[in-house]
Amino acid sequence: MTSDSATAATRRTVRAYHEDRFRGDVTMAAAQIGEGFGFRSPFITSDSPTGHLDGLDGLLGIVTGVELISELYGETEATLVYDVHTVPAVGITQHTAEHFRLDDGRITSITLIFDSGPWQAIMFAAGPTNGEATTRA
């Protein structure tokens, strides 16, 4: 595979994951995940292809849109920068960066970076998650 086609494959995989996740399609998002997967964010860590998506319905219930700001792709990694807009009652526009590593065309790690401060009260009210592989950080 040439460098250009590897980068294009990375883009297809990462964009499919991103779009499926924000559409609420956990099955399709998880289909982009490869062996040895790991996820890390300010709130959770997970080694499960779906554990990091636990509670997605709750998040999507308050999200009004996702605005992609920048996308950077390489042969085995990608970074997306985007804003997550929420309903007026929540009033958060979350600036977010997400770094992906890939192996053999599948996502093997995701690091989600954002200021968790605005979400502390919401996460506290939501209580613990039910995912075995998911823990609060």
pLDDT tens per residue across span 44-58: 899 999 999 988 888
pLDDT band at residue 126 using 50, 70 and 90 as cut-offs: low
pLDDT tens per residue across span 5-45: 989 999 999 999 999 999 999 999 999 999 999 999 998 89
Kindly tell me the sign of the dihedral angle through the C-alpha atoms of 117, 122, 127, 133.
negative
- Which pLDDT score, from 0 to 100, does residue 137 have? 41
User: What dihedral angle (degrees, nearest 10) is formed by the CA atoms of 121, 122, 126, 130?
Assistant: -110
Alpha helices in the chain (DSSP H): 3-23, 26-30, 56-60, 120-126
- What's the pTM? 0.85
Asked whether the predicted pLDDT for residue 136 surpasses 50, the reply is: no
pLDDT tens per residue across span 65-85: 999 999 999 999 999 999 999
- Which pLDDT score, from 0 to 100, does residue 127 have? 66
